Amino acid sequence: MTAPVNPSAATDFSGLRRLRVAGLGSLRDVTLHPGRLTVLIGANGSGKSNVLKALNMVPLLPARGLQRFIGQAGGASALLHYGPQQTESIELELDFALDGHTYGYRASLGFAAGDKLLFLDERVAYQGNPGVAMRTTPLGTDHWESLLRSAAPNSHEATSVHYWTAQLIHFHFHDTSLTSALRTNARAVDDRALRSDGGNLAAFLLRLASSVDAADQKAWRRINAYVSRVVPSIKSLEPTRLDSNTSAARLDWIDDRDERFGAHHLSDGSLRAIAIITALAQPAERMPRFISIDEPELGLHPAAISLVAELARSVSHRTQVLFATQSTAFLDHFSPEEVVVAERADGATTLRRLDPAALQTWLDDYSLSEVFDKGVIGGRP
């Protein structure tokens, strides 16, 4: 009932068109062609998180953050598919489309002493016309951090690839504990872009609320409107600078009785909803070109899940959005061609995009979530 993972919907948009990852975690060798909207669904351990891990790692490469990423992941041995005894390297291939041209990034990361990864090879690629083979340009070999940034000033291809790789932003708002980055005060000056863990949520919202820019103010009103729909008890968000002598910003809010509360009074689901809404409803000029969000349904009311899907669709014309989810209810807000099923067999992840034509008979009588629950499309434990 499923087909190979091919691009969904329109094929003429600018953005990430192909991601190939080999040797990372359960991703022995997978290729994903993201569309404007992509919903990745599968059981625990199917490999969804490894796809997100790859998307999280890529923008760190041009920022020279590979070794830090490896350390935080527990070392190269923890990243390689069944360890360095079985897998010696991680292969990355990304293709980005812009105005009929294709720009590519290729990297081979080999296991090295000290439980690290070393760039065995790093290249950029360019294809001017679909019928012409891609031309690759080597950036170097045997280096610890990416050479993409240093090559950018002298290479149009490297400049374009550097821009696109930096646009792949993975948001993860799972930690809502009392000491989490989402709940604690933020540095007020850290307000240029929303961080992947939401650690500067208060500062980012404060910037929007106090800005004189029309786009910022429009986004600020939009965020408040969506938050009030999800959490009716929140009349308005009130991000606040603690005082003129401090650099801290705090996320306060006003309830429906005009009483002021702090972030520590918010439920886990409400706080996550505010962060997700902010990520998806931020000003267009601040928004990344590709956003991935893990388990957006976590702790959210079904009505909030519907709103998140609605918001994602409304921004997908300018920003690609990828969700990884285990929620069957979330599926009903998307079309079959937007859904990719992750499964694991013989220790390796496979990705399959749904084939609407093959499912049509089922969808005449059942919703997509019901078809999933019946085991028709796979992805179940």
Domain ranges of the chain: 1-167+322-381, 170-287
| pLDDT above 70: residue 155 | yes
Model pLDDT, residue 3: 43
| pLDDT above 90: residue 13 | no
> Phi and psi for 203 in degrees, rounded to 5?
-65, -40
For residues 244-256, average pLDDT: 88
Which tokens is 3 given? 């087909």
For residues 201-229, average pLDDT: 96
| pLDDT above 80: residue 381 | no
Residue tagged 């994602």 (tokens): 312
- Angstrom CA distances, 107 to 62, 69, 151, 174, 317, stand at 12, 16, 15, 30, 29
For residues 92-110, average pLDDT: 95
Model pLDDT, residue 7: 42
Model pLDDT, residue 21: 98
For residues 96-125, average pLDDT: 96
> Phi and psi for 25 in degrees, rounded to 5?
55, -130
Model pLDDT, residue 100: 86
- Angstrom CA distances, 343 to 40, 194, 352, stand at 10, 32, 8
- Give SS3 for 370: helix
Model pLDDT, residue 5: 47
Question: Counting Cβ atoms within 10 Å, is residue 325 exposed (0-12), middle (13-18) or buried (19+)?
Answer: buried
The model's confidence at residue 4, banded by pLDDT at 50, 70 and 90, is very low
> How far does Cα 137 stand from its chain's mean position?
28
Question: Which range has the worst mean pLDDT, 126-135, 176-185, 190-199?
Answer: 126-135
> How far does Cα 298 stand from its chain's mean position?
15
- Angstrom CA distances, 359 to 135, 142, 334, 368, stand at 39, 48, 14, 9
Model pLDDT, residue 245: 65
Question: Which range has the worst mean pLDDT, 113-127, 236-250, 302-316?
Answer: 236-250
For residues 357-375, average pLDDT: 90
| pLDDT above 70: residue 89 | yes
Which tokens is 87 given? 């897998």
Domain 1-167+322-381 part of CATH 3.30.300.30 = no
| Percent of the chain clearing pLDDT 70 (strictly above) | 96
Cα separation, 217 vs 252, whole angstroms: 18
Question: Which range has the worst mean pLDDT, 67-81, 83-97, 250-264, 318-332?
Answer: 318-332
Which tokens is 51 given? 């796809």
